[in-house]
A and B are shown apart, each in its own frame.
Chain A
Amino acid sequence: MNLFKNLKIVILVIIVLLILVIIRNSNQNIFKQDVKTALDAAQNNSNLLSPDQLLQLKSKWLVVNVGGDDLPDSLRIQNSIRLPFEKLLDKSNLKILQEVEGDLILYSADVTTASKAWVILNQLDFKNVFILNINTNPEELKYKFQPDTTARLE
């Protein structure tokens, strides 16, 4: 008993440290994922989903519109909600996202907003998050460079 009394401060320090570690590790709102997972998925486009692929999904899904515009008329789907990108991580919105059953499909008219949202959610360890990609290839170059065959050093 005397020993514990003498070690009171030491035990207190250890308990405080332990509490801090537990709080830190149980915090859902910090980035824990390996960045490489996002890089790899983005690189091989495994995070993109076309409208056809979306409609063929067998699992449950929810389209989350993080852009400013409505979903295009060509995509007449029932299960979609709009969450403004800048408020995506508000407590109530985060709760909605965490409670989604099945796949979480992000959409924005400009694919960049959905792309940024995808990286953030991926790194927050959200599983089965995809970007709804209306265009065939969002990184397609629409122009062709015409070299000047007469170019030379003056």
Chain B
Amino acid sequence: MDARIKYSVLLVGIGIILAFLPFNAAKSFRLKPTELLSKSSSDDIYFSVDQVARFMNNEDSTVQIIDVRSVDQFREFNIPGSINIPFSDLLDPLWQPTLNQKEVKNIFYGNADQTASYAWTITTGLGYPNNFIMKGGLNEWFKTVMNSQFSGEKITPAENARFETRLNARRTFTQINSLPDSLKTQFFNAKRLIQSKLDGGCE
């Protein structure tokens, strides 16, 4: 039989199958349910506020801190260096290059854990890699970083390092969030200049 007829019958058959498939233009999860559940159950998806404070102090370029609160809440105060992707805008194509990439670790935070958990589950379900949660959100940040005080007679080197990180983070958080928006970039430039002098760099 002519090969053209065979191909035609095959194409018509596939066409009929496709025609009866339910059309779904909506975005749905790509991960398998068990795979998403297994990732969700892991503690590896969390960073502590101390770790985030260190990333912030070091201006770590391998990390992107993402505030999932509303624009107004973000404007009031935020973790310095973080960007605002309100939870409602999570599926906005504008943010897909930021959320769906392999180079930088995205760390979500909200006031507590719920919105960040939603954001993490949705982005991870969509198959976006490299997304994490700051455990406890800003409530834990205030409790641990902003309000923590050392009480005791002796301090171990590890504790000392942790408290220094918190103190630096607290100072930067308070200073930068007390400045008007127009001065925030200048603040970071000034901070980098001071750091480069301490490191022995040129002005």
Interchain CB contact (< 8 A) of B87 among A25, A39, A142, A145: A39
Q: A50–B87 Cα gap in the complex (Å)?
A: 22
If A14-B17, A151-B179 touch, whether A35 touches B28 (CB-CB below 8 Å) is yes
If A123-B28, A151-B174 touch, whether A38 touches B122 (CB-CB below 8 Å) is yes
Tell whether B167 is near chain A: CB-to-CB under 8 Å.
Answer: no
Band of interface residues on A: 35 or more
> Which of the candidate stretches A53-61, A69-77, A98-106, A112-120 sits at the interface with the other chain?
A112-120
Q: A116–B6 Cα gap in the complex (Å)?
A: 50
For A148, the closest partner residue in chain B by CB is: B178
Q: Please report which residues of chain B, range 66-90, place their CB below 8 angstroms from some CB of chain A when the two chains form the complex.
A: 76-77, 87-88, 90
For A47, the closest partner residue in chain B by CB is: B118
If A111-B114, A148-B178 touch, whether A43 touches B87 (CB-CB below 8 Å) is yes
Tell whether B165 is near chain A: CB-to-CB under 8 Å.
Answer: no
Specify which chain A residues have a CB less than 8 angstroms from the CB of B131 in the assembled complex.
none
Question: What's the minimum C-beta distance from B141 to chain A, rounded to whole angstroms?
Answer: 9
Question: What's the minimum C-beta distance from A18 to chain B, rounded to whole angstroms?
Answer: 6
Tell whether A30 is near chain B: CB-to-CB under 8 Å.
Answer: yes
Tell whether, in the assembled complex, residue A17 and residue B13 are in contact, meaning their CB atoms are under 8 Å apart: yes
Tell whether, in the assembled complex, residue A151 and residue B178 are in contact, meaning their CB atoms are under 8 Å apart: yes
Interchain CB contact (< 8 A) of A21 among B17, B112, B125, B190: B17
Tell whether, in the assembled complex, residue B29 and residue A35 are in contact, meaning their CB atoms are under 8 Å apart: yes
- A35-B91, A35-B125, A111-B113 known; 16 new pairs, CB 8 Å cut-off, are A3-B1, A35-B27, A35-B126, A36-B27, A38-B122, A89-B37, A111-B112, A116-B40, A120-B33, A139-B111, A142-B142, A143-B143, A147-B174, A151-B174, A152-B179, A153-B186
Tell whether, in the assembled complex, residue A115 and residue B186 are in contact, meaning their CB atoms are under 8 Å apart: no
Tell whether A6 is near chain B: CB-to-CB under 8 Å.
Answer: yes
- Report 21 cross-chain contacts, Cβ distance below 8 Å, ordered by A residue: A10-B10, A17-B14, A31-B30, A31-B31, A35-B27, A42-B87, A116-B40, A119-B122, A119-B125, A120-B33, A123-B28, A123-B33, A138-B112, A138-B113, A145-B77, A145-B177, A148-B174, A151-B178, A151-B179, A152-B179, A153-B187
For B146, the closest partner residue in chain A by CB is: A143
Tell whether, in the assembled complex, residue B37 and residue A86 are in contact, meaning their CB atoms are under 8 Å apart: yes
